[in-house]
Amino acid sequence: MEIIHFEEPVRFQERVQSRLGRYEAENNLVLGILANVIAGEYQDTNLYLALVQEEGEMVLAALCTPPYPVLISYQNPAPHQALLQALLDDLESQLGDDFNGLSGNKELITPLIELWQRNSGKEACLEMAQRIYKLERVLPVSGVPGSIRPADEDDRPLLLDWFTGFYRDALAEEANPKRIRKQVNIYLGADPGQRGLMIWEVGGSPVSMAGYSGPTPSGIRVGAVYSPPGQRRKGYASACTGELSQRLLDRGYKFCFLFTDLLNPTSNHIYQQIGYEPVCDVDRYLF
Predicted TM-score (pTM) of the model is 0.92
The structural domains of the chain, with segments of one domain joined by +, span 2-123, 135-281
Average pLDDT over residues 79-93: 93
Could you list the beta-strand ranges (E) of the chain. Answer: 2-5, 48-54, 57-64, 70-72, 101-105, 125-135, 147-150, 196-202, 205-213, 219-226, 255-261, 277-286
* pLDDT tops 80 at residue 133: yes
Q: In degrees, to the nearest 5, what angle opens at C-alpha 269 toward C-alphas 263 and 270?
A: 120
In this chain, the answer to whether the domains covering 2-123 and 135-281 adopt an identical fold is yes
Q: Which fold has domain 2-123?
A: Aminopeptidase (3.40.630)
**How high is the pLDDT of residue 25?**
96
CATH of range 135-281; options 3.20.20.70, 2.40.128.260, 3.90.1010.10, 3.40.630.30: 3.40.630.30
pLDDT at 220: 97
pLDDT at 201: 98
Binned at pLDDT 50, 70 and 90, residue 249 comes out as very high
Question: What integer is the mean pLDDT of 157-183?
Answer: 87
